[in-house]
Structure 1
Amino acid sequence: MAAPRRDGQGRVFAAVNVNTHSAENSLDHLIQHHPPLLLAAAGEISADVARVESVPQVTRDL
């Protein structure tokens, strides 16, 4: 199961995933439990990337 990571323009540039052993979890548990957490984590990472991209990049000659 994976969720997209997006940059500040909304373009997908990576993915966050989670995996588990199917014998340890029911399909219902996987569908109900993991997607909300995975999407929340991917959203937070994407928001962090967008914030970093919004900061002006200053270069200096040394």
Structure 2
Amino acid sequence: MQINVNGVEQKLRAATLAQALDELDYGDTVVATALNGRFVAAAGRASTVLANGDLLEILAPMQGG
């Protein structure tokens, strides 16, 4: 399936958002995710099904001040 990840087209085998994060090597990394402009909490990633053409944003927390 083709989805857009942080502005880059990616071909993934994943069916869910949790699987996509694993496939993209995020594993247990703490990140925030949005699918098609809507925030997806970590607890909802395993049940969030991906579709061809989806827009996925993955953001890592930044420290600073």
Look at both structures and tell me which one has the larger radius of gyration over its CA atoms.
1
Q: Normalised by the size of structure 1, how large is the TM-score?
A: 0.25
- Normalising by structure 2, we get a TM-score of 0.25
Q: Greater helix share, 1 or 2?
A: 1
